[in-house]
Structure 1
Amino acid sequence: MLIKTNVIVLSKLKYRDNDLIVKCYTKHRGLVSYILRGVLKSRKGSAKTAYFQPLTQLQVEENYRPNQSLQTLKEVKPKYVYESINTNVLKGSVAMFLSEVLSNTLKEEEKNDLLFEYLETTLLWLDNESSFSNFHLLFLLNLTKHLGFYPQQSNIDNKYFNLSSGEFEVNKTNMYSISGENLALLKQLLGINFDALNTIKLNSKQRQSFLNMILLYYELHLGDFKKPKSLTVFNQVFN
Structure 2
Amino acid sequence: MLVTTKAIVFSALKYGESDLIVKCFTEKSGLRTYLLRRILKSKKGKLKTSLFQPLTQLEIVANHKDKGTLESMREAKVVQPYHTLHTDVMKSSVVFFLAEMLRNSVKEEEANLPLFRYLENAFSWFDTHNQIANFHLLFLLNLTRHLGFYPDTDGLEMPYFNLLDGTFQPVETNRYCVHDENLDLLKKLLGTDFDALSAIKLNQTGRSKFLMLLLEYYELHLQGFKKPKSLAVLNEIFN
Task: Using the TM superposition, name which of 62-71 and 81-90 deviates more.
Answer: 62-71
For 1:106, give the aligned amino acid: V
Q: Report what 1:165 is aligned to.
A: 165
Q: Report what 2:179 is aligned to.
A: 179
Q: Report what 2:232 is aligned to.
A: 232
Q: Secondary structure at the match of 2:235?
A: helix
Q: Report what 1:28 is aligned to.
A: 28
1:238 positional shift: 2.3
For 1:198, give the aligned amino acid: S
CA distance in 2, matches of 1:171, 1:2: 55
Q: Report what 2:54 is aligned to.
A: 54
Q: Report what 1:206 is aligned to.
A: 206
TM-score normalised over the length of structure 1: 0.97
1:64 positional shift: 2.2
Q: Secondary structure at the match of 1:164?
A: coil
Q: Secondary structure at the match of 1:202?
A: coil
TM-score normalised over the length of structure 2: 0.97
Mapping of residues 47-196 of structure 1, within 5 Å: 48-67=48-67, 69-196=69-196
State the number of aligned residues: 239
For 1:215, give the aligned amino acid: L
* Deviation by residue 1:55-74 (Cα, 9 ceiling, x = unmatched): 00001101222325111111
Q: Report what 2:40 is aligned to.
A: 40
- Structure 1, unmatched stretches of 5+, are none
| CA contact 2:152–2:168 (8 Å) conserved in 1 | yes
Q: Secondary structure at the match of 2:48?
A: helix
Q: Secondary structure at the match of 2:33?
A: strand
| CA contact 1:19–1:35 (8 Å) conserved in 2 | yes
* Deviation by residue 1:203-230 (Cα, 9 ceiling, x = unmatched): 0000000000000000001121110010
1:16 positional shift: 1.2
| CA contact 2:46–2:74 (8 Å) conserved in 1 | no
Q: Secondary structure at the match of 1:146?
A: helix
For 1:206, give the aligned amino acid: G
| CA contact 2:46–2:75 (8 Å) conserved in 1 | no
* Deviation by residue 1:129-187 (Cα, 9 ceiling, x = unmatched): 01110000000000000000000111110001010110111111111101111000000
| CA contact 1:8–1:26 (8 Å) conserved in 2 | yes
Q: Secondary structure at the match of 1:76?
A: strand
Superposition misfits of 4+ residues, deviation over 4 angstroms:
44-47
- Structure 2, unmatched stretches of 5+, are none
CA distance in 2, matches of 1:78, 1:44: 18
1:44 positional shift: 4.9
CA distance in 1, matches of 2:193, 2:144: 15
For 1:207, give the aligned amino acid: R
Task: Using the TM superposition, name which of 4-13 and 68-77 deviates more.
Answer: 68-77
For 1:196, give the aligned amino acid: A
CA distance in 2, matches of 1:137, 1:121: 16
| CA contact 2:215–2:227 (8 Å) conserved in 1 | yes
CA distance in 2, matches of 1:177, 1:45: 54
1:46 positional shift: 11
Cα RMSD for the two superposed structures: 1.3
Q: Report what 2:17 is aligned to.
A: 17
